[in-house]
Chain A
Amino acid sequence: MPEPRAAPHHSIDVSIEGVSKSYQTAGGTVQALAPIALKIARGSFVAVIGPSGCGKSTLLRIIAGLETPDQGVVLVRNQEPETFRAGGELGIVFQDPALLPWRSVRRNIALPLQVLGQSIRAHEQRIGDLIELVGLAGYAKALPGQLSGGMRQRVAIARSLVTEPSILLLDEPFGSLDQILRRSMNLELQRIWMARQTTALMVTHSIDEAAFLADQVMVMHSSPGRIADIVDVHFPRPRAHDLFAMPEFHAVCDRLAAALDSGDR
């Protein structure tokens, strides 16, 4: 049973202090992230938005423990990312669904359990529920090649939830989908997130996706990658499709666009 939603700002799920990262390239050193600080409250939905190369994906990968920062401290629920994720407490969705093409939908969703060395049979019920939750009932035995792009991305979302993670990382999850499909997937993601009460961090290129989904939007600027602004979004939930047409929504979008633009000057 999901716990009652903790009050935001009271318990911190992700805490980042003075984290920086640079890469060596043929043209010299590139500062992907200037030393940045950031706190994400339990149960909140945070979006990170910024131009290409602002280090937003690097930030997400550092939180996932897929990359190590040059300096600084990353704590996820007061643990190192590598320690935290070992129990399957972290879920991740990429822009590319990255499914195993030879596995059925059901067996793709089961992959994290297998890597963690847990029994699949004990979780058959949970896998079945997740397939329903992402709207793929009847497709359990289908292969990824038989599904559309949007359906594949839903499989990837179900896979990220199979370990019942407390933190969900989304790296431009709908970046390869068209605008129409993207909006309906945004609604679905909100429904799934509200049903699971996880903390979500989503990296995106899309201003209206960030404004629609997030409680808080971090605007990043590039060279070096840094957080330029944090915008709170207070629309009540569940947010419905008609929010996209409301003037208040457009005001938030304009505010975000202005924050993004200020980096060019």
Chain B
Amino acid sequence: MREQPAWSAPDPTPGKGLWLLRAKVFDATDLKRAITRIGHEIVERNHGAGDIVLIGLYTRGVAVAERLAAAIASFEGVEVPVGALDVSFYRDDIGLRPAPSLRPTEVPVDVTGRIVVLCDDVLFTGRTVRAALDAVIDFGRPRAIQLAVLVDRGHRELPIRADYVGKNLPTKWDEDVRVRLAEVDSEDGIEIWDCVEDQDGEVEP
């Protein structure tokens, strides 16, 4: 690991310069409440948990799906199946960026006739969700596909909207919203980061 100054962190969009934490919007407790609320909303909207399949989008979306399944199991007593989807092969930017490494796609049940709830941490341009829609439809013909996200930060480039949102967070294009989940990041929270110095070494005012 390269040496980092204390106030910066590994950058998920590499090559984009130096970042500074501006605000912590959610802490662990806020996150827990949001998950519980979304879990209830999913069950309410779909009149029960029976036909639901939660499919998380790598990486943190999978953790979101698993937490939602745990929440639903705790108050509804139903074990909702959880799947994981790697949408790399469906992306619209293949060939434009280095291909991210893959994780195994696992869809444990037949999706035909069921309600698929895609789960992700942040909804931004909508392109990842578009790719996920194509992928899910290759697995079968769901009765409906819904979308649950922890953060909607705006700046949609496609006509995609989330059915369930943890927090609406209007942001500037060049900010970064980072969801921390203990399974992946060793703590829970939602943070907003600013770019202090972009990749050309320019310093923002």
Do the two shown chains form a genuine complex with each other?
A: no
| A contact set with B: CB distance below 8 Å | none
